[in-house]
């Protein structure tokens, strides 16, 4: 089984961007954590990050074409990108929307997700542990 872990804008700055909200774990640490979890679950995991919306759309198309399961942290695109939503809605395998912070305890504009109604499930507010839970769930689904 193959799982793509796709991360949107600003997630490459983990550890330095607003650590009071997003924690002190770096993106390199997150990459290592996801790969380690994949090995423990017997799942091939590939982690990617982009600040470019079109690249994310292309990765979601790739996941749909390959039949991959997906962990998606679309970051800011969660709240306004119809393009990312439309690409994610083409995924036929189970996929999870993940957020490091509890978006419902933050600014009003973050309370609305364009992805949640097409996602298999949503994990929010558990920091990087949310990725571990998402990967473990996808490995068993």
Known binding site for substrate: residues? 73, 79, 86, 100-101, 110
Annotated binding site: 73, 79, 86, 100-101, 110
Angular region, 120: left φ>0, alpha ψ -120 to 50, beta rest: alpha
Active-site residue among 22, 24, 27, 80? Answer: 22
Active-site residue among 24, 52, 80, 99? Answer: 99
Active-site annotation holds for 99: yes
Question: Look-up: residue for tokens 């995924």?
Answer: 91
The residue among 112, 67, 126, 127 whose CA lies nearest residue 94 is: 67
Active-site annotation holds for 22: yes
Catalytic residues: 22, 99
């Amino acid at each position: 089984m193959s799982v793509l872990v796709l991360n949107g804008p600003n997630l490459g700055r983990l550890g330095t961007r607003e650590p009071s909200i997003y924690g002190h774990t770096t993106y390199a640490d997150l990459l290592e954590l996801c790969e380690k979890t994949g090995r423990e679950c017997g799942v091939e995991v590939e982690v990617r990050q982009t600040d470019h919306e079109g690249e994310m759309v292309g990765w979601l198309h790739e996941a749909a074409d390959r039949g991959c399961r997906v962990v998606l942290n679309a970051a800011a695109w969660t709240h306004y990108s119809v393009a990312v939503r439309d690409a994610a809605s083409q995924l036929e395998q189970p996929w999870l929307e993940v957020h490091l912070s509890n978006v419902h305890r933050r600014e009003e504009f973050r309370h609305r997700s364009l992805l949640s109604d097409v996602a298999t499930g949503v994990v929010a507010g558990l920091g990087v542990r949310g990725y571990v839970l998402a990967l473990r769930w996808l490995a068993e689904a």
